[in-house]
Amino acid sequence: MSEYLPELWPLLAMVGAFVIGTFALKLPVSISLVIASVVGAAVGGHGFPLRHLVEGTFGYLDTLLIIATAMVFMRMIQASGLLDTVAHGMTARFHHRPATLLVLMMLFAMSAGMITGSSTAAVLTTGAIVAPVFMALGISRNKTGAIIAMAGILGMIAPPVNIPVMIIGGGVDMPYIGFTLPLLVLTVPMAIVIVLFLGLRSARAANIEPDMLPKSYHDQYGLKLYLPLILLVVLIVGEQALPRIVPALGMPFIFTICAAVTPFTGRRFQPLVASREAMGAALPVMGILAGVGMFLQIMALTGGRGFMVSMLVGLPLALLYLSIGVSMPLFGAVSAYGSASILGVPFVLALLGSNEILVASALSLIAAMGDLMPPTALAGLFAAKVVEQPNYIKVLKHCLAPAGLTIVASLGFIATAGFWDRFLFWDNRLGVYGILAGAVILMAGLVLLLDRTGSRHKPAEVK
């Protein structure tokens, strides 16, 4: 053990400073990460390495730009009335098919997290919109909170924006390319299973009164209202599917273009005010990312990251999986982003025999479960506020089984990475997309079958 002491002490000092700053001094996570980085550098004999601290701060500049522009776009389409209109349309069309409506509302609740990369943003925006619909279907307040909490977490991991994967990729020099299919395979089926598990038994084909629905602006603005969302899909999909036709603009520029279009498509609002509110919501997350970059830079400088990798590589495979399933969610109680950086990077390096894209994708989902871990439990806490439940533990109680299932499924995804590597990265792309399309059709058929077998009555139409 003596040969590792030069790398061990700075690492212990960094972790200790981080824990003391976060829990004892009640400092923001971002500030605690900065303090831990400075302490680790000093203990490692590097004094105050300003160059490394600055390099680490800007290590996730691309990700910071994505977060900022995505938050602005999300806030603007919310202000324009687009989100309310989509929720109203789905509820009015499928209110007599509870299983179908549950699945569609789950995917809609995930959408804000998919765009912003933040579970909190998803819970407080699209999650808040769908919560009254879930409760109108007969789902209890606590289960509704659990559903939107899980939707926020799964949306945070689903493409196109997955910040934990970007953090892990930045730590191992892996570009954010090729993650779309693995992340969809991990999140979408899990979302369907979770919402049906939590809500189908309680859901009923109830008469939903019009005042229960979000307001629709479709009649007022027509198809023009949907232009920002359509443009976003066209630019993102076209950039990957038709690179010769659609130029590679990059996610920040795409979000900027779509946000610039939004004020002219729907309900009138003040773009500058909306942008300022969005940046206010984004700054805490951006601060954490800047601190994470600094923390990782100092870990590499002092040898702490190499020490962790060398320690993990020597573990038996079963014990390694157990440590992933336990340590990443627990550390994620402080910050899912911190868990992805401090533990995710060494775990990817310890599993270098497997496809790094698949491993990083699954690790990001496991790290995201930290948003359900007390004392912070951000996703559960904000979901409880949305459903007006003062005791958020009652919401978290219903998240235990879905979270455990998600962790086990993610570990299974890592264990079978060889199969998924051959399938998802198969040279015959048409065959891959054909099989996935067949799987989607099969899942849709099963959901429709659940609606048909569980239907009790056909209520009056909702307008």
The per-residue pLDDT string of the chain (463 residues; one tens digit each, 9 = 90 and over) reads 445 467 888 989 998 998 899 888 888 888 998 999 999 999 999 999 999 999 988 877 887 888 889 889 999 999 999 999 998 998 888 888 889 999 999 999 999 899 888 888 889 888 988 998 898 888 999 999 999 999 999 999 999 889 899 889 988 888 888 899 999 999 999 999 999 999 988 876 556 666 667 889 999 999 999 999 999 989 887 876 677 777 878 889 999 999 999 999 999 999 999 999 999 888 887 888 788 789 888 988 998 877 877 777 778 888 999 999 998 998 777 678 878 877 888 899 888 888 999 999 999 999 999 889 876 677 888 899 889 888 889 999 999 999 999 999 999 999 999 999 999 988 887 888 898 899 999 999 999 888 887 654 444 444 4
Q: Is the peptide bond before 189 cis (omega within 30 degrees of 0)?
A: no
- The DSSP secondary-structure symbol of 117 reads S
247: how many CB neighbours lie within 10 A of its CB? 11
Q: Is the peptide bond before 159 cis (omega within 30 degrees of 0)?
A: no
Could you give the CA distance from residue 296 to residue 293 in angstroms, rounded to a whole number?
5
Could you give the CA distance from residue 297 to residue 275 in angstroms, rounded to a whole number?
31
Phi, psi of 96 (to 5 degrees): -90, 5
123: how many CB neighbours lie within 10 A of its CB? 33
Q: Give the CA distances from residue 286 to residues 69, 172, 305, 409, 425, in Å, rounded to whole numbers and listed in that order.
A: 12, 20, 23, 30, 32
Could you give the CA distance from residue 293 to residue 209 in angstroms, rounded to a whole number?
49
Could you give the CA distance from residue 317 to residue 414 in angstroms, rounded to a whole number?
11
- At what angle are helices 180-199 and 356-368 packed, to 10 degrees? 30
386: CB partners within 8 A, 6+ apart:
123, 124, 127, 128, 131, 145, 148
Could you give the CA distance from residue 287 to residue 253 in angstroms, rounded to a whole number?
21
232: CB partners within 8 A, 6+ apart:
73, 115, 254, 255, 258
Handedness of CA 413, 415, 419, 423 (dihedral sign): positive
Handedness of CA 265, 269, 270, 275 (dihedral sign): negative
Domains of the chain: which residue ranges? 2-454
- 346 half-sphere exposure, CB direction, 13 A CA radius: 26
Tokens representing 135? 């409760």
- 150 half-sphere exposure, CB direction, 13 A CA radius: 35
